[in-house]
Amino acid sequence: MPKLDDIDLADLDRFTSGFPYRDFDDLRRDAPVWWHPPTAHTPGGEGFWVLSRYADIVAASADGATFSSETGGDRVGGGTTLEDMPMEFAVGALLNMMDDPRHAQFRRLLTPSTTPRALRAIEEDLRRRAIDIVDAAIAKGDCDFLIDVSAELPLQAVADLAGVPQTDRHELMNWANVTLDYEGREVGEVSDRVAQAQAQMFVYGTNLLVRKRSESPTTDLLSIVTHALIDGEPLSENEQRLFLSLIVAAGSETTRNSIAIAMSALSERPQTWEQLRANRTLLPVAVEEMLRWASSTPYNRRTATRDIEMHGQQIRAGDKVSLWWASANRDDAVFADPYNFDIERNPNPHLAFGRGVHFCLGASLARMEMRVMFEVLLDRVESVTLTGPIEYVRSNKHSGVRHMPVTINPR
């Protein structure tokens, strides 16, 4: 299998033109459970397992007892990234790096605020915000679609949902962007720029959470976590601070990238754009295809808690195991003609939001934001034309867009 010898999924330069889907075509065909050997880029000089087929990823994500979001074996760190995160600081304290039962208890606190029924109450406000965002971009004509359009609605929505002042939203996004992009550094490294952003976020979060604790409880997510009890005890200050970081990054970053990458696909397919304009009932189905197409979270890592065999490969307790959602979303065993952007694809059981107990808490909000934004774009915009190449972030953890220069032509 000579092609596999050339694949290094820890080499972030491999992701600067978008996700390397064709590498995963080879993996799904030839090595569905592949031991990624240590390279110059792998964190800690360690190798890791790569799961690339849809069925295997679904099975692993459903088995949290074997594939832990915390740790396993005699590993002293763990988490959901290829680099080990420290126990207690992140692992076991950050919601997405937490196993049941505490994960389920924490998640239950937040679920009532993120149900489709609860979110319907904010849909018209989202629509008004989307109209203002799109009209401002139309007034510019030439703009950066990522910054001027797709980033704004998710950011404003998550600020309201979390209880963060709107005046602070861009500063929070900038700090999150710095920590999620590996510009000028490798996985596991912390540059001066990243350290500064983390320190500023820490101070801001500490002060905001102190204020939330002193106020009467409300329905925003930060108020909920600062006043909540689990087994009669409040969440630790570390859990509360980490939740703020998570909600700002996860609540805005993934959706903005899905909107931008979807708009890029539509701009290259003017007939599909017009088809959507003519038949708006297709939009909810089209949003699912946009999510599959963008696959804005390429992978999550787990740690094996016991020895297990998959496809003849022996995974040992303590081994890192990576679940590549983006690869699953191009698996032709599940998706006919997976490289065709088909806005009528139905059913569309994509894994853009993950699967299992860690299924994305903000899935309903993301779907609503995307549907509302594209309704407004279809109403007010004749065409969006790329005027230069899309610039992607340097990361294998986020299919992120830094810049997307476009001309927006109004209707």
Res 2 pLDDT > 50 = no
Per-residue pLDDT reduced to its tens digit, 395-406: 999 998 999 999
The one-letter code for the residue type at 287 is V
Contact predicate 374/350, CB 8 Å: no
What is residue 128's predicted lDDT score, i.e. its pLDDT?
Answer: 96
| pLDDT value of position 42 | 95
Helix ranges (DSSP H) in 141-168: 145, 152-162
pLDDT over 70 for what percent of the chain? 100
- Confidence band for 189, pLDDT divided at 50, 70 and 90: confident
First to last CA, the chain: 52
Q: For 369-392, write each residue's pLDDT tens digit.
A: 999 999 999 999 999 999 999 999
Indicate whether 350 pLDDT > 90: yes
Q: How far apart are CA 29 and CA 97, in angstroms?
A: 30
CA-to-CA dists, residue 256 to 31, 274, 275, 294, angstroms: 33, 22, 23, 10
Is it true that the peptide bond before 347 is cis, omega within 30 degrees of 0?
A: yes
The reported pLDDT for the residue numbered 1 is: 44
Report the half-sphere exposure of 354 (CA within 13 A, side-chain side): 23
Which of 161, 129, 70 minimizes the C-alpha distance to 357?
A: 70
pLDDT single digits (tens) 6-56 = 899 999 999 999 999 999 999 999 999 999 999 999 999 999 999 999 999
Q: What is the pLDDT of residue 170?
A: 84
Which domains, from first to last, does the chain contain?
A: 2-410 (1.10.630.10)
pLDDT of residue 180: 74
Half-sphere exposure of 375 (CA within 13 A, CB side): 19
Predicted confidence at residue 108, as pLDDT, reads 95
CA distance 71 to 89: 13
Handedness of CA 12, 16, 18, 21 (dihedral sign): negative
Segment 95-117 shows an average pLDDT of 93
Residue 169, H or E segment: helix 169-180
Q: What is the pLDDT of residue 153?
A: 93
Predicted confidence at residue 194, as pLDDT, reads 81
d(CA 154, CA 126): 9
Strands 401-403 and 320-323: unpaired
Lowest-pLDDT range of 44-58, 101-115, 241-255, 342-356: 241-255
Scan for tokens 């330069």, then name that residue: 13
Q: What DSSP string describes 92-110? A: TTSGGG--TTHHHHHHHHH
Question: Is pLDDT at 61 greater than 70 in this prediction?
Answer: yes
